[in-house]
Amino acid sequence: MSQTAAEPAPPARRDRSHLLYLAVIVAVVAGVAVGLLFPKFAVELKPLGDGFVKLIKMMISPIIFCTIVLGIGSVRKAAKVGKVGGLALVYFLVMSTVALAIGLVVGNIIRPGTGLHLTNAAKAAGAKAAGGESAGTVDFLLKIIPDTLFSALTQSQVLQTLLIALLVGFALQTMGRSGEPILRGIGHLQRLVFRILAMIMWVAPIGAFGAMAALVGATGWKALIGLLQIMVGFYVTCAIFVFVVLGALLWLVARVNIFSLLRYLAREFLLILSTSSSESALPRLIAKMEHFGVSRSVVGITVPTGYSFNLDGTAIYLTMASLFVADALGKPLSIGEQVSLLVFMIIASKGAAGITGAGLATLAGGLQSHRPELVEGVGLIVGIDRFMSEARALTNFAGNAVATVLVGRWSGEFDPDRARTVLRGEDPFDERTMLDDHAAPEDGPEARTEVATPTPV
């Protein structure tokens, strides 16, 4: 009996997820090498990268639906949801304006397109990117309404999924106790979805290898030399925005170091870097922000909404790319034209966050509607859009992570003590399930503290 009583519990499974991300790094390096050495063969590997991104995108709608429904349905008072959503939307509007202003200032200083010449091939590429008419405001709003209650989930429409999830969440909230079984069922569905996602992540090295090999094989390095100025300027501008603007705001409001937060999210940044899509890391951001100490209701509202409305990296990209195209064609934009064009493009880009190439399409559509003679210049940056897409996605992701912490702090739904514990490595994130160490549906940091215990690794 004493031997049985003293017998230790069976050891937990060893976390081998670090091997996955090491494999992603190796795959990226191998992809670059294959792209340089065997460019024709490398281009044929593009379906590997496309397939992985499609697998991830397949999971986005159900994850957003479950997260928002659980976030709203578990809140006892609808006013609280309105407070969190209002704070988030005001913050998104202000930060998009700041990102626009920074992009305008830097773009007007470096004048990245001056001296470049437009070739016939570039004109053709620009025309192809601008194919199709830009939708008006009424069409944009009508497209938010899905054809059926479930079509948003099957067609992977982010804004439509947001609308349906909000309706279901508020409906469950009004049902009271009779809605709790449905809420528990959706909680189990969310756990299942995350389990499937964890399985998909093990093919990330294959996707990263195919994507990088095809990219380098198609463009090579020589094609990038003449465009390094705008690339470097864009990356520097994004870095200034993240580390200076967001970093200062995060420290002043929540007393969280931006470098510590980004290190906590390092694996997500690696995933985005290899796929050029912030959508690939959306499910993990939801899980990690809950683990970090932000309540489920705040995470469930802020993160999915931010992926459609908090596009800091896209704002900077659209600003600098527009100035680049106008200068390259010798038709610079006046300050008034810059402001009106870019405000329009920020509005038009809602719902396109995280989709590879969406920034280029939005740029072409905005120029088509405001200055059609500039559309052909979009072809100048087609070759480097993938590299700029990476910085765009990384900045969007960092902006949404910071926004979640700030909104949690302002709404009183952020536990700073837990955040410090997590950043010190005393309560590591469970990479195996992404759900087992989360708080129960009850709101608030208090509920989280009761159930959050260090997970053995």
**Architecture of the domain whose range is 17-451:** Orthogonal Bundle (1.10)
pLDDT reported for residue 362 = 64
Please name every residue paired with 414 in a beta bridge, in sequence order, or none if there are none. 294
Residue 313: which residues within 8 A CB-CB, separation 6 or more? Answer: 99, 238, 391, 392, 393, 394, 395, 396, 399
What are the DSSP calls for 285-307, one per residue? HHHHHHHHTB-HHHHHHHHHHHH
What are the DSSP calls for 354-365, one per residue? T-TTHHHHHHHH
pLDDT reported for residue 359 = 60
Q: Is the pLDDT of residue 10 over 50?
A: no
pLDDT reported for residue 17 = 55
Which residue would you say has higher pLDDT here, 113 or 5?
113
pLDDT reported for residue 244 = 93
pLDDT tens string 135-149? 555 666 777 788 888
Tokens describing residue 265: 């999210």
Q: What percent of the chain has pLDDT above 70?
A: 68
Q: How far apart are CA 362 and CA 435, in angstroms?
A: 35
Q: Are 402 and 285 in contact (CB under 8 A)?
A: no
Q: How far apart are CA 142 and CA 156, in angstroms?
A: 16
Strand positions, DSSP E, 2-42? none
pLDDT reported for residue 79 = 59
CA-based torsion, 444, 67, 15, 420: positive or negative: negative
Q: What percent of the chain has pLDDT above 90?
A: 12
pTM of the model: 0.65
- Average pLDDT of the chain, as a whole number: 74
What are the DSSP calls for 117-157, one per residue? ---HHHHHHHHHHT-SPPP-HHHHHHTTS-SSTTHHHHHT-
pLDDT reported for residue 114 = 57
Q: Where are the domains of the chain?
A: 17-451
Tokens describing residue 288: 């990690």
Tokens describing residue 192: 């299942």
pLDDT-based confidence at residue 151 (cuts at 50, 70, 90): confident
pLDDT reported for residue 223 = 45
pLDDT tens string 216-253? 776 666 544 545 677 788 888 899 999 999 999 999 99
Q: How far apart are CA 455 and CA 436, in angstroms?
A: 9
**The dihedral formed by the CA atoms of 362, 368, 371 and 375, expressed in degrees to the nearest 10:** 80
Angle between helices 46-73 and 266-275 (to 10 degrees): 130
User: Among all chains, which residue has been given the structure tokens 């610079």?
Assistant: 332
Q: Is the pLDDT of residue 345 over 70?
A: no
pLDDT-based confidence at residue 421 (cuts at 50, 70, 90): very high
Q: Are 385 and 356 in contact (CB under 8 A)?
A: no
pLDDT tens string 289-306? 999 999 888 888 888 878
CB-count burial class (<10 Å; 0-12, 13-18, 19+) for 180: middle
Tokens describing residue 437: 């160490």
| Helix, strand counts (H, E) of the chain | 24, 0
